[in-house]
């Protein structure tokens, strides 16, 4: 957890992964502070801040991959995505107010960006999807400044082309939609050179905004059934989704271990 404006946040540790106990309001205030801080800097620019949207899959992956765990530990903000994170938080008596997801976050951040004059850049997803996402968002939030859109790829040989576009666009906020953990590794690897105040990995959020993929209806989200909707609409994800019961089992085992 970093310096600026953090006095109000607290940390929740789930299976060794530290998650910030923030809601959307506080997340937006932190982003606001980081953008202002970078815009106000005269000589030495503050580094690009990294936000990770941590769900149970992230936590299971971090158990298996110490490099991914290190990326999450270095991030400036790990927000609680995923109903499983809220469940685990309740179990340890540190309930969270709400999920802070990339799929909702892209709307909330763009709404704030339109009122504050921040420039946003949409990087990732299949060719053309970022442009469609930008069209939806600018229609919804008049005045939103989209500094650029580019599918690109997280492969190393794409970096120089992406960097040139970002340097020309000079965004305040960079949304990266390469799916986890690739997007989070990519931001971590390049963030010293990223010309933006904040970079956030948003997974499949562009696909949802652009209408390429269907998000679960609100009632399913409310009943914590978003995973079921994903399984029905994207059945090829079944192997990845086995991480959900693994997460539950590891959480229960940890509790047992602590009680013993």
Listed ranges 23-31, 41-49, 167-175, 200-208: which one lies at the site for ligand UDP (CB under 6 A): 200-208
* CA distances for 128 relative to 98, 141, 196, 226, angstroms: 32, 20, 22, 26
| 124 in contact with ligand UDP (CB under 6 A) | yes
Q: Which residues of 154-168 are buried (b: 16+ CB within 10 A; e: fewer)?
A: beeeebeebeebbee
Residue placing its CB nearer to ligand UDP in the complex, 114 or 121:
121
Residue placing its CB nearer to ligand UDP in the complex, 35 or 130:
130
- Contact pick of 22, 60, 114, 177 for ligand UDP (by CB under 6 A): 177
Give the Cβ contact number of residue 41 at 10 Å. 11
Do 144 and 120 form a contact (C-beta atoms < 8 A)? yes
Least distance from ligand UDP to the Cβ atom of residue 193, Å: 20
| 85 in contact with ligand UDP (CB under 6 A) | no
| 178 in contact with ligand UDP (CB under 6 A) | yes
Least distance from ligand UDP to the Cβ atom of residue 234, Å: 8
User: Is residue 211 left, alpha or beta, with left meaning phi > 0 and alpha meaning psi from -120 to 50?
Assistant: left
Tokens of 80: 């609680």
Residues that bind ligand UDP (CB under 6 A): 124-126, 153-154, 177-180, 182, 203-204, 206-207
């Amino acid at each position: 957890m970093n310096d600026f404006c953090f006095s109000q946040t607290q940390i929740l540790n789930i299976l060794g992964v530290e998650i910030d106990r923030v809601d959307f309001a506080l997340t937006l205030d932190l982003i606001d502070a980081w953008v202002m801080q970078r815009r106000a800097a005269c000589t030495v620019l503050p580094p690009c801040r990294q936000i990770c949207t941590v769900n149970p899959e992230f936590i299971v992956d971090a158990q298996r991959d110490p490099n991914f765990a290190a990326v999450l530990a270095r991030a400036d903000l790990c927000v609680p995505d995923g109903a499983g994170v809220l469940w685990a938080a309740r179990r340890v008596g540190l309930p969270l107010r709400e999920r802070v997801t990339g799929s909702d976050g892209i709307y909330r951040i763009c709404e704030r960006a339109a009122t504050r004059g921040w420039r946003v850049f949409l990087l990732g997803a299949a060719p053309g999807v970022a442009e469609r996402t930008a069209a939806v968002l600018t229609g919804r939030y008049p005045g939103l400044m989209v500094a650029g859109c580019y599918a690109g790829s997280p492969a190393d040989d794409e970096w120089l082309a992406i960097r040139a576009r970002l340097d020309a666009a000079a965004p305040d906020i960079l949304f990266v939609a390469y799916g986890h953990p690739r997007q989070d590794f990519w931001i971590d690897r390049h963030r010293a050179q990223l010309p933006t105040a904040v970079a956030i990995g948003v997974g499949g959020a562009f696909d949802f905004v652009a209408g390429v993929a269907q998000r679960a209806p609100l009632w399913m989200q409310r009943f914590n059934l978003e995973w079921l909707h994903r399984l029905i609409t994207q059945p090829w994800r079944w192997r990845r989704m086995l991480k959900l019961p693994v997460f539950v089992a590891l959480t229960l085992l940890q509790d047992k271990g602590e009680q013993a």
